[in-house]
Structure 1
Amino acid sequence: MRFGAYQFKPTLVPTLAMVVMIALTLFLANWQLDRADQKRALQARYDLMQKDPAVTLPGKQADSTGLLYQKVALRGRFDFVHEIYIDNKLYRGRAGYYVITPFRDDNSGSYVLVNRGWLAAGSNRAIPPMAAQVPGQIRIEGIVTSPNSRYLELSAATVQGRVWENLHFKRYATTLPYAVQAVLIQQINDTQDGLVRVWDRPDAGAAMHMGYAVQWFAIATAILIIYLVLNVKRVPI
């Protein structure tokens, strides 16, 4: 194909490579856009659910999908014997733990897991953490979240006593002497235990996904430009 003094004459292999690479980068860009849209949708659901009054959990096994981000009110007692600590959680750049404690909810007659909040790690990580306990019957307000999350386990030693690398719900449930509902409650009210309760927004990271999408679109554009430059030749007159 000739355009004045220039000729466009691509060969088969570079053309196929260009098509594959652009298709891949466009796929990755659109995947990042979808991830950003999903997180914004979750935030919209969260904002909507927070306008509703707190409800009680059902007595039967709750569906975390249907109750996701619902504000709930619990009344009962914590089971501190089976409390665990999720390691490597950061707050304002400082390392610490999430404190996960089973809670016997008198309203529903069932046990649920409560993320009580963030506890700073001590200067000596060899000393096990110990969060302040709130004995007796108390009232808890919280937000329903899913106990299942994607994570990478860095080693086979994912559990060291009461310190866990991640919250693996099924694994944890097998250590309890009772059934526990498949939901995780993020506590939001203060129970004078000194824990920090500042939770990530559901749309956290949406801007990052948008940035990645822009980068993939830029790479696709660069591939196309390089392909054209390498395959357009000046024709001697």
Structure 2
Amino acid sequence: MKFRLIPALLILLVMAVTLRLGFWQRDRAHQKEALEARITQFENAPALTLGSAPVELKDVEFHRVKARGRFVADKVVYLDNRPYNDQPGFYVVMPFKLADGGVVLVNRGWLPRNMSNRETIAPYSTPQGDVEIEGIARADASRAFELGQGGSAAHQLIRQNLDIAAYAAETGLPLRPFVIQQSSDDGDKLVRDWPAPDNGVERNYGYMFQWWGMAAAALAFGLYAARRAAKKAPAPSA
């Protein structure tokens, strides 16, 4: 079979790109699997106690943590569009003033929405005085899709998302750079049936096979085209 240079180079280029993209998706899947193993390891390890010493996000993310202090109830934020069992509701995010100094945001749990009036918050209780809480350190209090800057302007209590640094500047609170996703129960009527993190490993493997399938298809097409061109070529004269 004879190969024409330009078509052959184009097919090789397509194969090189799609094979590389397939390997990239495979590497992403392996990275996510390693992260998943770390999360499981940290969640089953003894809880870290938060004290006065500053802690960076990278040193505490996904770890179980415990802290003693009191909730700052007048700075609460309700994160909208957080459904639970197909029921609309909010996440209750509240600053927690540590007994040893500093403040950390706590995602206290889920609260159902009042279906007749969006801005009416269902009753729940907040512990008074110093309490000890436990949970998982997260980079944020969960994120939902939003257009522009979200809906905080219309109602300061109800927002779509909450950026820690921006909220620290807004309130003047010395917030730690992470959020505690609370797991301990204090009888406040909030739901803490947290969804398991979905890192999308299956999607990465799916994309990997798709890219490699495209590489195989490009190779098959190139061989087929070369074979057809060979059949149509005039026979050499004697």
Tell me the TM-score normalized by structure 1. Answer: 0.83
Contact 2:104 2:179 (C-alpha < 8 Å) held by counterparts:
yes
What RMSD over aligned residues (CA atoms) do the two structures have, in Å? 2.6
Q: Deviations over 1:104-138 (max 9, x none)?
A: 121x3211011112223332463254562313132
Which of the residues 74, 88, 92 maps onto 1:95? Answer: 88
Deviation at 1:102, TM superposition (A): 0.6
The alpha-carbon distance between structure 1 residues 194 and 214, as it changes in their structure 2 partners (threshold 3 A), is: farther
The amino acid across from 1:224 in the alignment is L
Q: Which runs of 5+ in 1 are unaligned?
A: 1-6
Which residue does the alignment assign to 2:132? 139
In 2, distance between residues paired with 1:124 and 1:31? 48
Within the alignment, does 1:218 sit opposite 2:216 as a pair?
no
Which residue does the alignment assign to 1:3? none
Within the alignment, does 1:52 sit opposite 2:48 as a pair?
no
In 2, distance between residues paired with 1:64 and 1:176? 21
Q: Which runs of 5+ in 2 are unaligned?
A: none
Contact 1:98 1:116 (C-alpha < 8 Å) held by counterparts:
yes
The alpha-carbon distance between structure 1 residues 230 and 130, as it changes in their structure 2 partners (threshold 3 A), is: farther
Within the alignment, does 1:9 sit opposite 2:7 as a pair?
no
In 2, distance between residues paired with 1:169 and 1:202? 20
Within the alignment, does 1:205 sit opposite 2:166 as a pair?
no
Q: Which has the higher helix share?
A: 2
In 1, distance between residues paired with 2:219 and 2:90? 47
Which residue does the alignment assign to 2:17? 24
In 1, distance between residues paired with 2:52 and 2:137? 15
In 1, distance between residues paired with 2:81 and 2:89? 6
The amino acid across from 2:219 in the alignment is L
Q: Which has the higher strand share?
A: 1
In 1, distance between residues paired with 2:20 and 2:114? 45
- Pick 1 or 2: higher relative contact order, CA cutoff 8 A, min separation 6: 1
Within the alignment, does 1:127 sit opposite 2:119 as a pair?
yes
Percent sequence identity over aligned pairs: 34
Contact 1:62 1:183 (C-alpha < 8 Å) held by counterparts:
no
Larger Rg: 2
Aligned length: 229
Which residue does the alignment assign to 1:188? 183
Deviation at 1:94, TM superposition (A): 3.2
Deviation at 1:158, TM superposition (A): 4.0
2:83 partner SS: strand
1:215 partner SS: helix
Which residue does the alignment assign to 1:167? 162
Tell me the TM-score normalized by structure 2. Answer: 0.82
In 2, distance between residues paired with 1:66 and 1:198? 25
In 2, distance between residues paired with 1:202 and 1:50? 12
Moved more, 162-171 or 121-130: 121-130
In 2, distance between residues paired with 1:119 and 1:148? 14
The alpha-carbon distance between structure 1 residues 154 and 125, as it changes in their structure 2 partners (threshold 3 A), is: farther
